[in-house]
Chain A
Amino acid sequence: MTDVTTTGERLLFLHDADVTAQPAPGIQQLSRTLGLDLDLPRHPGFGAPLEGEALEWDSVADLAQHHLLRLDAEDGRAAAADNSNSNSNSNGGRANGSAPHGHTPDPRPLHLAGAGFGGWIALEMAVRARHRFASLTLVAPYGVKLFGPTDREFADILLLDPAETVELGWADPSACHGLRMPGFPAGLDDREYEEAFAERAALSRFVWKPFLHDPRLRRWLHVLTMPTLVVAGDRDRMVAPGHSRALADLIPSARYAEIPGSGHYPYLETPGAFAETVAAFVSEHLKTGEER
C-alpha cells in the first residue's frame, strides 16, 4: 500500500471501556486510508488516576466537557502557531466558519468517532458542540436507552466476568485480543491488574446509574444534523439487537451500517471491513477534498 498524502483533517477517536491503549488496527487503517491525523486520547481515569477537580466528576457529561475543553485548548495552540506563521501560510483551509465560543478554531476539519462508552461520550460532545465536527461515527454506542424499563439494552460490563464479556463481545471469542479487564488476560502482574481495577472504578464513576445511559441525551438527538454513521457488528451482544439501528433512526442525518461476522469491537475483530465501511462514509465528508 502506498502512503496516502495527509489531508490535514483530523480524526478524534474515543475509546471504549476495557480496550488496551494500543491503537486499534481498524482505526489505524482508517486514518491511513483517508490521510487523517489521528487523535487517540485516553479518557480521564484511564491510564492515569483522576486527580484534582476531576475527582468530583461523576457523569459522561463531565467527560464530554473535558474533551471539548481539550479541543479548545488545542485550538488555542493551533491558532497561536497559525498566527506566528501567518506570513508564510496565509491559506488556513478554515472549513467551519467562526467558532461558536468566540475563540479561534483549529483550521483543520475534525471528524469525531467513538466506540461503545466512547461513542456515548462522542454523542454528549456532539449535542453540545454540533458545529465543531465535520462528521460523527458511532460504533455500537452506549448512552441512549431506547426500549422499555425491563429491557436490558447493555450488557452489565461492570459485573460480568471477562469470559462473559468476551463471549458477548466477539463473533469469534477465541480470536479476542486488545482487551484488558481485572483478571484478564490471565498471567498479568499485580500492577497491571491494579490498573485494570482503577479503570473499572473510573468507568463505574461515570456510568453506574442510570446504567450506561443518560436519560437526558435522547431528547437532544434531534440537534445532530452533521453527517453521522452508526456502525455495529452483526454479532454484537453487548448492545441489544437492533439498538444501534434504532438509534440511527432517531438521529436526523444518520445512516446505519453493519459489519458482518463482527462483534462489539469491529475495529479489533474485522479491522479491514471496519475501515472500509467507515472510510467510505468519512470520505464523503472530507472538507479538504471540496477545496481542492
Chain B
Amino acid sequence: MKCFHFSEMPYPYVPPEAEAEHRGLKYFIPNRHYDPVRGYELYQRYLDEYELADELGLDLMVNEHHQSASTLHVSATLSAASVLARTRHGRVLVLGTPLPHRESPVRVAEEVAYLDAISAGRINCGFVRGVQGETYPSNQNPVHNMEMFFEAHDLIKEAWTRRDLFSWEGRFYHYRYVSVWPRPYQQPHPPIWVSGTTRRLVEWTARHGYTLCNLLGTYEDTAKSFRLYRQTAVEAGLPEPSPDNFAYLAFCHVAPTEEQARESGRKLLWYLKQGKLRLGAANPPGYSSTAAAVASLRGKLGEVRKYSFERLVDEGIMLVGTPDTVTRQIQRLYERTGVGNLILMNQAGEMTSNEVRDSLCLFAREVLPAVAPIGRSWQDEDTAWRVDNDTHPVETVLASALS
C-alpha cells in the first residue's frame, strides 16, 4: 500500500454569515473575504506540511479547485511545481487537472511534461472531469464535459508520444502545429490517474489501464466501481488489474489514544459541510444523466456527507484512531476493494498545523511500515475481488462519493 499526503489547503476564515449568504464556500463567494496576509501564511504552512510528509516517506498529492475558500490550490500543476521544489523523494500526484475546464490541452501537456522533466519523473498525472460546480468558474459547457475530457486526453497523449509535428482539428480543440517541448521524463508518459464513478468513465479508464481513484465513497460503492474496472479490463484483453490500478481517498488522523484521535479528527468534518449550493451548481445541465440529476434533486447523491462522525469512522471513510485501529481499517479497505494506493486527507478546516504534524509523524512511524506490505503479493491471494472469484455483473450505483 502506497500512502499519499494530501491537503486541500483550505482558507478557514470566512465568516459563517458570509458562507450562508453565498450558499457555501465555493464558486460564488466574493474574494473580499480573502485576506492576502493570512493567505500567505496558510500557503507557507501547507507547503511546510507537504515538505514534512515527504521527509517522513509519504508520497504527495495536489489538486485544484476554483473560486473556492475550501481550496487554495488554483492549479494542480502550479501546486505540483511548488511541492516539487520543496521536496526530494516522494512522488507527486497531480489529481488532477480538470481537462474540460482548461482552455488548452496542449498547455496541460507542456506543464505536466515540464513537471516530470524537472523532477526526473516524480509525477503521477491525474486527469479529472472537474466536479460539477467547477463549470461556473471555468464557464465551460457542462453538456460537453465528458466529450471534452476524452478529446483533451487524446490530444495530450498524442502530444506526449508523437515524435513529430502534427495538427489537431477535433471537435473542441484546434491546433495547426503541435510538438510539445520538453517530452516527459517518464517514457512514453507519466502514469495516468483518473477519478470518477460514472460507468462510462470507469470503463474508459479500465480499457486504458489507468489508475482509477475513488474519493471518499463507501467501501461497498468503491468495491463495485473497482469490480466494474476489473471486468472491463479483462474483457478488453488486458491482464488482471493489480492493486496499483486503484486508489482511494480517505480522511486520516492518528493519535496515541482513540479519544485524542477523535477529538482532533472531528475537525476533518469541516470538509463535508454541505454548502447550500443551488441545484444548478450541484448538478449543472447535462453534466450527468437525467437519472443521476433526479437522484441529486431528491438528495440521494453524496450520501457520505450525511453520515455522522462515528459512522464515518466506523466505515473507514475517516481513518481516525490509534495506529493499530487505522492499520486494521486499511487492511479491511484492501480486503474489500483491492486498492493499492491510499490518499490521506490529513487536514481540513481549522485543524492546526501541530495536529497535522503530530498525526503525520505517528502515521509514518507506526502505520506506514505496517501497511506497506499490503497487496504486494496480491497474485498469491484468493480475495473476493480477484476476477476469477467475481463473475456476476456489476449494477450501476448511485455515487456515494463526493465527486
Where the two chains meet, the residues of A that have a C-beta atom closer than 8 Å to any C-beta of B are 58, 156, 158-161, 182-183, 190, 193-195, 197-198, 200-201, 203-205, 208-209, 211
Chain B min CB distance to A142 (Å): 16
* Interface assignment of B234: CB less than 8 Å from any CB of chain A: no
Name the A residues within 8 Å of B281 (CB-CB).
Answer: 159
Q: How far is the CA of A156 from the CA of B136 in the complex (A)?
A: 11
Contact A194 B293 (CB under 8 A): yes
A51 to B373, CA, bound (A): 51
User: How close is B395's CB to chain A, nearest CB, in angstroms?
Assistant: 18
Instruction: Give the residues in chain A near B272, CB-CB below 8 Å.
Output: none
Q: Would you give the shortest CB distance from A191 to chain B, in whole angstroms?
A: 9
Going nearest first, the 8 A-B pairs with the smallest beta carbon separation are A201-B286, A204-B285, A208-B141, A194-B290, A159-B280, A200-B285, A197-B293, A197-B290
- B285-A183 in contact (CB<8A): no
* A residues in contact with B279, CB < 8 Å: 161, 182-183
Residue B394 CB within 8 A of the other chain: no
Q: How many angstroms between the C-alpha atoms of A234 and B353 in the bound complex? A: 57
Q: Which of A156, A161, A204 contacts B141 (CB 8 A)?
A: A204
Nearest neighbor of A203 in chain B, beta-carbon distance: B285
| B387 part of interface (Cβ distance < 8 Å) | no
| Residues of B that sit less than 8 Å from A by CB | 136, 139-144, 278-281, 283-286, 290-291, 293-294, 297-298
Minimum Cβ distance to chain A for residue B382 (Å)? 42
One of A159, A193, A201, A204 near B136 (C-beta < 8 A): A159
B286 and A200 contacting across the interface, CB-CB below 8 Å? yes
Contacts of A211 in B (CB 8 A): 139
- A198, B290: Cβ atoms closer than 8 Å: yes
A194's nearest neighbour on chain B, judged by CB, is B290
Chain B residue contacts of A201, Cβ below 8 A: 143, 285-286, 290
How long is the Cα–Cα vector from A200 to B284 in the complex, in angstroms? 9
What are 19 A-B pairs at a CB distance below 8 A? A58-B143, A158-B284, A159-B278, A160-B278, A161-B279, A182-B279, A182-B283, A182-B293, A183-B297, A194-B293, A197-B283, A197-B285, A200-B285, A201-B285, A203-B285, A204-B142, A204-B284, A205-B144, A208-B139
Interchain CA distance A204-B143 in the complex, whole Å: 7
Knowing A194-B290, A201-B286, A204-B285, say if A209 contacts B280 (CB, 8 Å): no
Residues of B near A209 (CB, < 8 A) are: 139-141
* Min CB–CB distance B274 → chain A (angstroms): 16
User: Bound complex: CA of A216 vs CA of B142, how far in Å?
Assistant: 23
Q: How far is the CB of B198 from chain A (nearest CB, A)?
A: 15
